[in-house]
């Protein structure tokens, strides 16, 4: 067998050598190999291709077109293949750094990628910070449905991006906001390792204001067979229990309950009882479909209208622990407004006290991380979150990378950006229904009224950001009269033709998110 690496030593720039052999523009950071095979990624026109230079005739189980090449009299084989699912699976098996791993309770950040081409920019931002473990494959079922992608595509995109950039420090794969057993099964089959379970549709917000009689009726009707308890045991377990909340909250006006009283216990049990049962059901299903393979869970109760009180957090976490559910992070619904694409809206002192209480509970009952969902662009709270939570924090971002891609489009193809913005404005009122946003289309300037060099600045305006943020699915799946993609292909073509500009915009923006949490 020919020793490929030894043979190529002294040949100069490896990327140039491989480019000469393959006809590709090779990404230098992607080149990796052993004595028998050299793997690399390159681009030609709009396509990316996997390359393998080997002393063997075939390299199973990759799908490659093989042809002989000669270097210094040595007979080698060059294989080129598409960046498809089969080759992504084979690459993950051959090069473990391109496969996801467990995240655990270490400090982390989820960097969602709605277009499937953002990972290189994310990796470049990560290289400028320390102590933050990335989740580079992250997308919710809702986002997958709106973009027409599947779990395999999301994970494969991260694999190819990691390979392209030569990121060797590991990454996670988060199947985000899973609400059904079918969703869990789909993402498990694709190879995700982190599962964000979302029982928000089972949270009974009416319990916050129900009369005592209604509460008693709701309490009796909870699915006690799944919860493995009954009303009397709930009272015996929790009444009078001390809640581990810090005294500092009182100094800034946050009224924190110190012990569990009857009224608030019943409201918490009724508000979250069905949600807890649904989480247990999903967790047990996950154990079955993973069949002994490793996995980890995040609990998300953030997508509700009312904040999660410290007492409610204490009750939910205590009950899940009693029922055998294990998790690495939990996302409560914090006070204030975590709207998409813009900074935190609310009183910072109130948020600080509320967040400190949640951290205290997470430390006492875990430890587990506190997760910031819709966490992108919340620059005003990052310093205090980092100070209070320390390493017990997970920042979750997604749509902000799509917005920065549109910033790059505004710079590179102003007319395309104008078309997208007008289309987004026309569809905003419909698309906003499932998001927490407050943008008004009357505050969005008419794109035609602005010169080209002012368009990218629109991405700094909150109303514009939210309008573009929530209409991403409609924009990416829109078709023209002939059934062809109206925007998606042109948008991707612009970004791929100017990928270094796109990566640079992403790197700058995501660095702002990560630096406050850096060691």
What local confidence, expressed as pLDDT, does residue 6 receive?
79
Instruction: Give the span between the Cα atoms of 59 and 83, in whole angstroms.
Output: 15
- Residues forming beta bridges with residue 25, ordered by sequence position: 43
Evaluate whether 79 touches 66 at the Cβ level (below 8 Å): yes
pLDDT in tens, 64-116: 999 999 998 889 999 999 999 999 999 999 999 999 999 999 999 999 999 99
In this predicted structure, the answer to whether residue 249 has a pLDDT above a threshold of 80 is no
In this predicted structure, the answer to whether residue 55 has a pLDDT above a threshold of 60 is yes
What local confidence, expressed as pLDDT, does residue 248 receive?
57
Res. 1 pLDDT band, cuts 50 70 90: low
Evaluate whether 139 touches 113 at the Cβ level (below 8 Å): yes
Residue percentage of the chain with pLDDT more than 90:
90
pLDDT in tens, 223-235: 999 999 999 999 9
In this predicted structure, the answer to whether residue 43 has a pLDDT above a threshold of 70 is yes
In this predicted structure, the answer to whether residue 3 has a pLDDT above a threshold of 90 is no
Query: In the structure encoding, which two tokens stand for residue 421, read together?
Result: 């913005």
DSSP class of residue 35 equals S
**CA dist list (Å): 413 to 66, 118, 419:** 38, 18, 10
What local confidence, expressed as pLDDT, does residue 482 receive?
95
Instruction: Taking residues 165-172, report their average pLDDT.
Output: 98
Instruction: Give the span between the Cα atoms of 66 and 77, in whole angstroms.
Output: 6
What local confidence, expressed as pLDDT, does residue 474 receive?
97
Instruction: Give the span between the Cα atoms of 88 and 152, in whole angstroms.
Output: 10
Place of tokens 């009416």: 206
Evaluate whether 437 touches 477 at the Cβ level (below 8 Å): no
Q: Which residues contact 433 (CB under 8 A, 6 or more apart)?
A: none
pLDDT in tens, 21-33: 999 999 999 999 8
Tell me the pLDDT of the chain averaged across its residues.
95
DSSP class of residue 29 equals G
* Beta-strand relationship, 32-33 and 37-44: antiparallel
Q: What pTM was computed for the model? A: 0.96
Tell me the domains of the chain and their CATH numbers. Answer: 4-94 (no CATH), 97-208+215-399 (3.20.20.70), 402-511 (no CATH)
What local confidence, expressed as pLDDT, does residue 251 receive?
45
Torsion of CA 358, 362, 368, 369, to 10 degrees: 20
Q: Which residues are catalytic?
A: 176, 298
Res. 303 pLDDT band, cuts 50 70 90: confident
What local confidence, expressed as pLDDT, does residue 254 receive?
61
In this predicted structure, which of 8-17, 232-241, 272-281 has the lowest mean pLDDT? 8-17
In this predicted structure, the answer to whether residue 17 has a pLDDT above a threshold of 50 is yes
In this predicted structure, the answer to whether residue 250 has a pLDDT above a threshold of 50 is no
**CA dist list (Å): 364 to 124, 164, 256, 357, 358:** 36, 41, 16, 11, 10
Rg of the chain over all Cα atoms, to the nearest angstrom: 25
What local confidence, expressed as pLDDT, does residue 2 receive?
72
In this predicted structure, the answer to whether residue 471 has a pLDDT above a threshold of 60 is yes
Residue percentage of the chain with pLDDT more than 70:
98
Instruction: Taking residues 317-332, report their average pLDDT.
Output: 98
Which of 263 and 3 is assigned the larger pLDDT? 263
In this predicted structure, the answer to whether residue 370 has a pLDDT above a threshold of 80 is yes
Instruction: Taking residues 458-478, report their average pLDDT.
Output: 97
371, 367, 363: which is closest to 395 by C-alpha? 371
Q: Report the alpha-carbon angle 496-498-503, nearest 5.
A: 85
326, 209, 325: which is closest to 270 by C-alpha? 209
Q: Which residues contact 401 (CB under 8 A, 6 or more apart)?
A: 111, 112, 113, 114, 115, 118, 121, 122, 506, 509, 510
């Amino acid at each position: 067998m020919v020793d490929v690496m030894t043979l190529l030593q002294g040949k100069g720039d490896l990327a140039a050598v491989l480019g000469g052999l393959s006809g590709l523009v090779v990404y230098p950071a992607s080149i990796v190999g052993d004595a028998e095979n050299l793997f690399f990624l390159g681009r030609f026109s709009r396509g990316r291709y996997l390359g393998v230079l080997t002393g063997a005739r075939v390299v199973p189980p990759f799908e490659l077109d093989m042809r002989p090449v000669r270097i210094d009299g040595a007979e080698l084989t060059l294989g080129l293949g598409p960046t498809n699912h089969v080759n992504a699976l084979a690459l993950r098996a051959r090069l473990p750094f391109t496969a996801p791993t467990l995240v655990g309770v270490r400090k982390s950040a989820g960097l969602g990628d709605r277009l499937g081409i953002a990972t290189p920019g994310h990796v470049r931002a990560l290289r400028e910070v320390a102590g933050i473990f990335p989740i580079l494959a992250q997308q919710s079922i809702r986002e997958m449905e709106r973009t027409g992608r599947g779990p395999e595509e999301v994970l494969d995109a991260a694999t190819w991006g990691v390979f392209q950039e030569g990121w060797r420090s590991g990454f996670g794969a988060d199947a985000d906001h899973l609400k059904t057993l079918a969703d869990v099964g789909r993402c498990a089959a694709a190879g995700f390792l982190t599962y964000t379970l979302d029982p928000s549709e089972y949270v009974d917000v009416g319990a916050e204001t129900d009369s005592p009689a209604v509460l008693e009726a709701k309490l009796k009707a909870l699915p006690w067979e799944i919860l493995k308890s009954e009303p009397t045991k709930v009272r015996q377990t929790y009444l009078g229990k001390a809640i581990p909340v810090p005294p500092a909250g009182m100094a800034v006006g946050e009224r924190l309950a110190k012990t569990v009283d009857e009224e608030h216990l019943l409201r918490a049990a009724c508000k979250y009882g069905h949600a807890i049962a649904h989480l247990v059901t999903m967790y047990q299903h996950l154990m079955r479909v993973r069949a002994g393979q490793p996995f980890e869970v995040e609990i998300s109760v953030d997508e509700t209208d009312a904040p999660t009180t410290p007492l409610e957090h204490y009750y939910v976490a205590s009950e899940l622990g009693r029922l055998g559910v294990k998790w690495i992070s939990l996302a409560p619904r914090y006070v204030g407004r975590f709207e998409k694409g813009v900074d935190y809206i609310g009183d910072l002192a109130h948020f600080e006290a509320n967040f400190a209480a949640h951290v205290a509970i997470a430390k006492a009952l875990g430890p587990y991380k506190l997760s910031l969902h819709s966490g992108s662009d919340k620059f005003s709270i990052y310093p205090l979150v980092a100070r209070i939570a320390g390493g017990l924090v997970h920042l979750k971002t997604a749509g902000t990378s799509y917005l920065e891609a549109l910033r790059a489009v505004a710079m590179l193809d102003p007319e395309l950006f104008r078309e997208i913005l007008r289309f987004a404005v026309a569809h905003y009122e419909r698309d906003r229904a499932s998001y927490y946003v407050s943008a008004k289309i009357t505050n969005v300037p008419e794109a035609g009224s602005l010169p080209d060099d002012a368009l990218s600045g629109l991405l700094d305006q909150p109303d514009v950001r939210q309008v573009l943020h929530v209409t991403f699915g409609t924009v990416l799946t829109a078709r023209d009269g002939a059934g062809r993609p109206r925007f998606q292909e042109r948008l991707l073509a612009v970004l791929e033709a100017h990928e270094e500009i796109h990566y640079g915009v992403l790197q700058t923006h995501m660095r702002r998110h990560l630096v406050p949490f850096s060691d």
